[in-house]
Amino acid sequence: MTRTVQKVAVLGSGSWGTALASHLRRAGHSVVIWGKSADEIQDLAVGRNTRYFPGETLASGLVATTDLLTAVDGAQTIVIAVPSFAVREVCESVREHAAAASIVSAAKGLEGGSFRFLSEVVGDVLGNADRVAVLSGPSFALEVLRNKPTAVTVASRSEQTAKRVAETFHHETFRVYTTADVVGVEVGGAVKNVIALAVGMVDGFDGGTNARAALITRGLAEIARLADALGGESRTVSGLSGLGDLLLTATGDLSRNRTVGLRLGKGETLGEILASLGQVAEGVEAAPKVLALATKRGVAMPITEAVVKVISGERSVQDSARMLLSRERKGETSP
C-alpha cells in the first residue's frame, strides 16, 4: 500500500503517547512528540523513555520538544495522548495552529464537570467535529512499542477522516479498522477501565475465576446499556473497542487499572497505590464520572457503583462484592 508521509504531532509523552509516536515513526512519518518534562524530552530525543519503558529503544528519528506550538506547526495529523483532565487545556493551546489537521483522540474517559466524552471536548474546542477521530481498542503500550500484533478501531463521524487516520496508523503488525460509531467506541474505552478495577479487586482477594468471568460479562452488559442509552451501536460493544479492550484491560498483567484493583483487593489504600504507581489509572478518574452520566440517563450500572464506593472509601471490596451478589434476582438481559 502506498503511504502518504506526513508530519504527525503526538501530544503527550507518557507510555501511550511514546508508543504511538514510535509506531508512527516506524511507519515512515515525520513525528514530533511533545511533553512538559524537560528531562523526559531529553530522554526521548535520544530514542528512550526510561521512565515508562526502561531498557526499550524507540524508533530512530523521533523529534522531541517541550514547545507545544513547535510540535503542531505544519502537522497534518495531531494525536492527543494526554490524560483526560488535560485534554481541554492542550486543545485550547493549539486551537489556532490546528485548523487544517486531522485530530486523533487517543485518550479515554470523560471530562470532569461536563461528563462529556473526550472526542466531544476536542471537537468543541477545535470547532470542527468532522476532523476528529477516536483511536481505541485492545492495545497495551509496551506491546505496540515492541511491534507486537495489534488491532484497533478508528471512529469518526466523517468517513473521510476515519479512512485518512486509519491509513496514517495502519502499518505492519498494527491493523486498523474503521467505524462511524464514535459514541460506542468512547463508551467502551471509558467504562472498560472501571470494570477492570472491579475484576482486579475480586482477583486481589482471591474471589476466583468464576467471579472474574461473571464480572467481565456483566460489565460488558453495563457498557452495552450505557452505549445504547447514548445512541451507540450494539455491534461496537462486541467489537475491538468494547469486548476486546475490556478483556485485555481486565485480565492483562500490563493493565494499570487491573493492577490498582488487585492491590485494593489485597487491602492497600488507594492513596498508597496511586503514590507508588507513577502513572495515571484512568478508571479511578472515570468511575464517578461514568456513574454520574449513567444516573443522569437512568441507566443501572451496579458494578460501576460498587467501584465508586470502594475508591471513595465508603465500602470495602468484600462488602461491595456481597452487595452485588445480594441484589434482587433478575432475568439475565435485565439491568
Burial of 64 (0-12, 13-18, 19+ CB in 10 A): buried
Alpha-carbon gap, residue 10 to 5, rounded angstroms: 15
Name residues whose C-beta falls within 8 Å of residue 221's C-beta, 6 or more positions apart in sequence.
Answer: none
Given 192, 266, 309, 330, the catalytic residue = 192
Alpha-carbon gap, residue 306 to 298, rounded angstroms: 17
Nearest alpha-carbon partner for 45 in 16, 21, 81: 21
Fill in the amino acid letter for 329: R
Fill in the amino acid letter for 115: F
266 counts as catalytic: no
- Pairing, β 132-136 against β 150-155: antiparallel
Q: What's the order of all strands across the beta sheet hosting 174-179?
A: 63-65, 30-34, 7-11, 77-80, 102-105, 132-136, 150-155, 174-179
Name residues whose C-beta falls within 8 Å of residue 89's C-beta, 6 or more positions apart in sequence.
Answer: none
Nearest alpha-carbon partner for 333 in 189, 195, 224, 187: 224
SS3 280: coil
Write out the catalytic residue numbers.
192
